[in-house]
Structure 1
Amino acid sequence: MTASKTLREVAGLGHTPTTIGNSALILIDCQNTYREGVMELDGVEPALVECQKLLQRYRDAGRPVIHIQHDAGAGSPYDVAAPIGAIADVVKPAAGEPVVVKNYPSSFEKTNLDGLLKSLGVKDVAIVGFMTHVCVNSTARAAFNHGYNATVVGNATATRSLPNPTGGVVASKDLHNASLAALHDFFAVVVPSQEDIAP
């Protein structure tokens, strides 16, 4: 099987990732709900470690960091007033780091994220967090639509296995890889590891 050229290649956009010095870091929904219970993801703990490493690199460089937290209301797996909906301790926001609370998969939808990024004067964003096929995917696409250059870090996100509507199960690894490939085709630069984000 031979892969096609990506739409980014056809359009002349290329696949050069952003750098820490030229971007803001967006951590999407790094919440406890993905570490336990009904929403636990395959590979979530290693992905959180990678999020933590990249977060520290942005902090050390004095670059902007924005945390996203999904709120689906009281009693839900995304109840921000309960421990299950809290941001994981390993990437807990530091003083002065903004937290954008959202109610939709896209972190841009009915939030102040776009205005916040504009106020920071950045056009590039590095995106990590959860889940690969939902909020990471939706946010990266929205970033593109809002005129930002997005880089998604593959090993700093994760997902879960899903029922295949045509029969069987789509394994989490396959869903993760397909979601990243779809973004890489046009909407974002996708890199395997946080180590691929240069200073």
Structure 2
Amino acid sequence: MSSPKSMFQLSGRGYPPASLNNATLVIIDAQEEYRSGVLALPGLDEALAEIASLLAAARTMGRPIVHVKHLGVPGGIFDPRGDRGQHLPEAAPLPGEILVEKRLPNAFAGTDLHDRLQAIGHLDLIVCGFMTHSSISTTVRAAKDYGYRCTLVSAACATRDLPTLDGGVISADEMHRVEVIALADNFASVVPQAKALF
């Protein structure tokens, strides 16, 4: 029996990872909720260090950077008026960097993200942030519908433990691994770490 192949391999429509010098960096939901809120992620510090590395390199190269921020409910998760809704300092936008605010996991839904990316003019996006199985997954999948080529930096993303339907738990590490595999099948070129891109 032959080894399974990805949809990219079967269709011949795969593409190599982007290089930071010819792509737009998209950072999704790097917010305090994931550090100190009810959605605190076990792999946050390691992923945030990777995001900070990408961000520093993009700024040094003068590359376009898009920060996506989730707007939650006042008093709730991602409280836009409280600390938990704020950007993590390590990945906070600087003046002149693009900020897109969203209310759904998919950063294209109900926002001007597509228009902002079109104005930049790059089809190649380098994506990182939180959470792998939610906002990262939905945004990367939607990006394909708009004709973008996504490169996902696995180590610059993280997620949390999730309950399973049979009453068990799938660990954050396993959930992240499975979601990255799913995205690599047909939606994104995946690299393990930020240093692969510069």
- TM normalised by structure 2 equals 0.97
Which runs of structure 2 are paired with 1:150-169 in the superposition (5 Å)? Answer: 150-169=150-169
Shift of residue 130, structure 1, vs aligned partner: 0.1
Name the aligned partner's letter for residue 92 of structure 1: A
Task: Please say if 1:122 is aligned against 2:86.
Answer: no
Output the CA distance in 2 between the equivalents of 1:79 and 1:129: 18
C-alpha distance after superposition, 1:120-145 (max 9, x if no partner):
11111000000000000001001111
Q: Does the 8 Å CA contact 2:140/2:150 hold for their aligned counterparts?
A: yes
Q: Does the 8 Å CA contact 2:24/2:124 hold for their aligned counterparts?
A: yes
Shift of residue 166, structure 1, vs aligned partner: 2.5
Q: Which residue of 1 aligns with 2:107?
A: 107
Shift of residue 14, structure 1, vs aligned partner: 2.5
Output the CA distance in 2 between the equivalents of 1:146 and 1:123: 9
Shift of residue 81, structure 1, vs aligned partner: 2.0
Shift of residue 15, structure 1, vs aligned partner: 4.5
Q: Does the 8 Å CA contact 2:160/2:172 hold for their aligned counterparts?
A: yes
Q: Which residue of 1 aligns with 2:30?
A: 30
Flag as ranges the 4+ runs of structure 1 deviating above 2 A.
Answer: none
Sort the Cα spacing of 1:168 and 1:81 in 2 relative to 1 into closer, same or farther, 3 A: same
Shift of residue 52, structure 1, vs aligned partner: 0.3
Which runs of structure 2 are paired with 1:1-199 in the superposition (5 Å)? Answer: 3-198=3-198
C-alpha distance after superposition, 1:95-138 (max 9, x if no partner):
10011000010000010000000001111100000000000000
Secondary structure class of the residue paired with 2:27: strand
Sort the Cα spacing of 1:3 and 1:178 in 2 relative to 1 into closer, same or farther, 3 A: farther
User: What is the number of equivalent residue pairs in this alignment?
Assistant: 198
Secondary structure class of the residue paired with 1:30: coil
Gaps of 5+ in 2: none
Q: Percent identity?
A: 37
Output the CA distance in 1 between the equivalents of 2:80 and 2:125: 25
Name the aligned partner's letter for residue 54 of structure 2: L
Q: Does the 8 Å CA contact 2:18/2:124 hold for their aligned counterparts?
A: yes
Shift of residue 87, structure 1, vs aligned partner: 0.5
Secondary structure class of the residue paired with 1:38: coil
